[in-house]
């Protein structure tokens, strides 16, 4: 009788853990964002067709673009569509990046335009246009679709989320093993 009680409470604990885990999974689905290295292995450089590159992917709100390049040789200016087309960065600049490892969070379902302003690089094709769709979560999209201010900074938050996720996976594996041992 006592052992039966122990098993029952163990089962309850296990199922509540899984319920909590499931909640986290759902939360993650809404928070998780894909990360794209612009140009893939080529990075952010001259001589690459970024139109072809951007056409390969479907960007959604929360995704992160990572521009990788040799610092000083290039830069990343977030600009208006007009400036993207004219390559004239004297106007229409929203934001500038120059770290060589720039992370830009696509915080809104809109279009984003980026150019490099170093000597004729933009004219030579070093410009990127990306259109971002609403979060792809099915149903109840109202909350996830709410416009949020673009938080385009160090992607530390994304990295931390990745670590949390790994921790959770480890936790789940351990729990599963323990649970299997009970029977
Ligand atoms: Cu450049």
Q: State the distance from the centre of ligand 1 to the C-alpha of 83, rounded, in angstroms.
A: 15
Q: State the distance from the centre of ligand 1 to the C-alpha of 179, rounded, in angstroms.
A: 55
Neighbours of ion ligand 1 (CB under 5 A): 74, 116, 118, 121, 126
Q: State the distance from the centre of ligand 1 to the C-alpha of 121, rounded, in angstroms.
A: 5
* pTM as predicted: 0.61
Averaged pLDDT, 144-168? 45
The answer on pLDDT for 176 being more than 80 is no
* Cβ 77 vs Cβ 89: under 8 Å: yes
The answer on pLDDT for 116 being more than 60 is yes
Helical ranges in 32-155 per DSSP H: 50-55, 81-86, 141-145
Q: What is the pLDDT of residue 151?
A: 39
Cα 3 to Cα 8, 9, 173, 182, distances in angstroms = 9, 10, 25, 12
Residue with tokens 């479907």: 58
pLDDT tens-digit profile of 16-36?
555 555 544 545 555 678 999
pLDDT band at 50 (very low <50, low <70, confident <90, very high): very high
User: Which two structure tokens, joined as six digits, stand for 37?
Assistant: 């290295």
Dihedral of the alpha carbons of 98, 114, 54, 146, in degrees to the nearest 10: 100
Cα 127 to Cα 116, 132, 133, distances in angstroms = 6, 16, 20
Q: What is the pLDDT of residue 160?
A: 43
Max avg pLDDT among 30-34, 39-43, 167-171 = 39-43
Q: State the distance from the centre of ligand 1 to the C-alpha of 123, rounded, in angstroms.
A: 10
User: Which is more confident, 169 or 155?
Assistant: 169
Q: State the distance from the centre of ligand 1 to the C-alpha of 47, rounded, in angstroms.
A: 10
């Amino acid at each position: 009788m006592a052992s039966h009680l122990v098993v029952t409470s163990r089962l309850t604990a296990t199922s509540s853990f899984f319920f909590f885990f499931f909640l986290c999974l759902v939360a993650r689905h809404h928070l998780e964002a894909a990360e794209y290295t612009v140009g893939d292995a080529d990075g952010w450089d001259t001589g690459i067709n970024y139109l072809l590159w951007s056409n390969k992917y479907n960007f959604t709100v929360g995704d992160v673009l990572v521009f990788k390049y040799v610092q000083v040789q290039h830069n990343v200016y977030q600009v208006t569509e007009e400036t993207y087309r004219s390559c004239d960065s004297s106007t229409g600049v929203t934001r500038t990046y120059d770290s060589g490892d720039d992370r830009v969070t696509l915080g809104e379902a809109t279009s984003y335009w980026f150019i490099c302003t170093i000597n004729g690089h933009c004219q030579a094709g070093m410009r990127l246009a990306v259109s971002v769709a609403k979060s792809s979560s099915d149903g109840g999209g109202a909350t996830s679709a709410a416009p949020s201010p673009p938080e385009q900074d160090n992607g530390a938050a994304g990295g931390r989320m990745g670590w949390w996720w790994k921790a959770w996976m480890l936790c789940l594996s351990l729990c599963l093993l323990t649970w299997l041992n009970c029977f």
